[in-house]
Amino acid sequence: MTFEEIHTRIRTYQQEGKKLFTSSSFQSHSLVLLHMLSRIDRGIPVYFLNTGYHFPETVAFVDRISEELGLNIIRLNPVVPKHQQRDADGNLLFTSDPDYCCFLNKTQPMEDVLRSYDVWINGVRADQSLVRKAMKLEQPAPHDVLRFHPMLDWSIQEVFAYLREYDLPRHPLDAKGYSSIGCEPCTKKPDPEMHEREARWYGMNKVECGLNTDLAQSS
C-alpha cells in the first residue's frame, strides 16, 4: 500500500468510530510505519512491549523516536513478574521454554490490550516469514479486533528506500551487524546465510513470538 492508501484506510476506520492502536518493536524497519502514522495522526497509541529483556540500545532508541516523531507511546509490561517466570529448576524461562517466555512477556499482555480496541495496525511484511506471507491485508484477531497490515506487500528494499528518503535514524545495533533485534538473551548476530529473523531466537528453530500466530485468526 502507498502512504496515500494507508492514510485513506486509517481515516475511514476513524470515521466509522473505530478505536485504533499499533505496536512496535522499534527496529529500524519499524520506523517506516511509525513515521507514516506520525504524518497521519500522532494520537494513535503505539504500544511497546517492555519485556524487561531488551537491549539497552533499544530502550534508548524508543525514547529517541518518541521525542523525534512526537508519538503517543505506551510501555506495556508483563502481567507476570520476572521472579515468577522460572521453570521447575528455578531457571528463567528463556533458557528452557522460550515459547512460554514469549507468551508471558508479549502475547499475554498484548491480548489484554486487544480488549480495548477495534483495529490493530500491525507492521508485518510478507517477506519476513512463511507465517506472515500467509497473512491478508485485513485479518481477524481475538476479541473482535481487526488486524490491519499496511506494510504487508512492502519489500525490505522499499523499507530502506523510505528510511533514506526521510532521513530516519537507524537502530544503533544495525551498525554492529544485527538484522532483526528482539530480546537480548535470545538475539544474536546472524550468520551470512541466515534469513533476517532466524537470529531472533538463534538456534531455537523459532521465528515468531506468538503475537502473529496466537493473536491472528484465519480470515
Mean pLDDT, rounded, for 131-149: 94
Q: What pLDDT, on a 0 to 100 scale, did the predictor assign at position 40? A: 97
Catalytic, out of 102, 183, 186, 209: 209
Q: What pLDDT, on a 0 to 100 scale, did the predictor assign at position 35? A: 97
Residue 209 annotated to the active site: yes
Mean pLDDT, rounded, for 64-92: 91
Q: Which residue has the cell 519499524?
A: 30
Q: Which residue has the cell 481487526?
A: 146
Beta-ladder partners of 120: 21, 147
Q: What pLDDT, on a 0 to 100 scale, did the predictor assign at position 192? A: 66
CATH numeric code, 3-201: 3.40.50.620
Q: Is the pLDDT of residue 178 over 70?
A: yes
Q: Is the pLDDT of residue 201 over 80?
A: no
Mean pLDDT, rounded, for 129-145: 92
pLDDT interval class at 83 (50, 70, 90): confident
Q: What b/e string do you get for 21-37 counting C-beta neighbours within 10 Å, with b at 16 or more?
A: bbbbbbbbbbbbbbbbb
pLDDT interval class at 139 (50, 70, 90): very high
Asked if residues 156 and 167 have their Cβ atoms less than 8 Å apart, the reply is no
pLDDT digits 0-9 by tens, 5-27 = 999 999 999 999 999 999 999 99
pTM, 2 dp: 0.90
User: Which H, E and C letters describe 47-83, residue by residue?
Assistant: EEECCCCECHHHHHHHHHHHHHHCCEEEEECCCCCHH
Q: Is the pLDDT of residue 207 over 80?
A: no
The one-letter amino acid code at 25 reads S
Beta strands in 71-151 (DSSP E): 72-76, 119-121, 138-141, 145-148
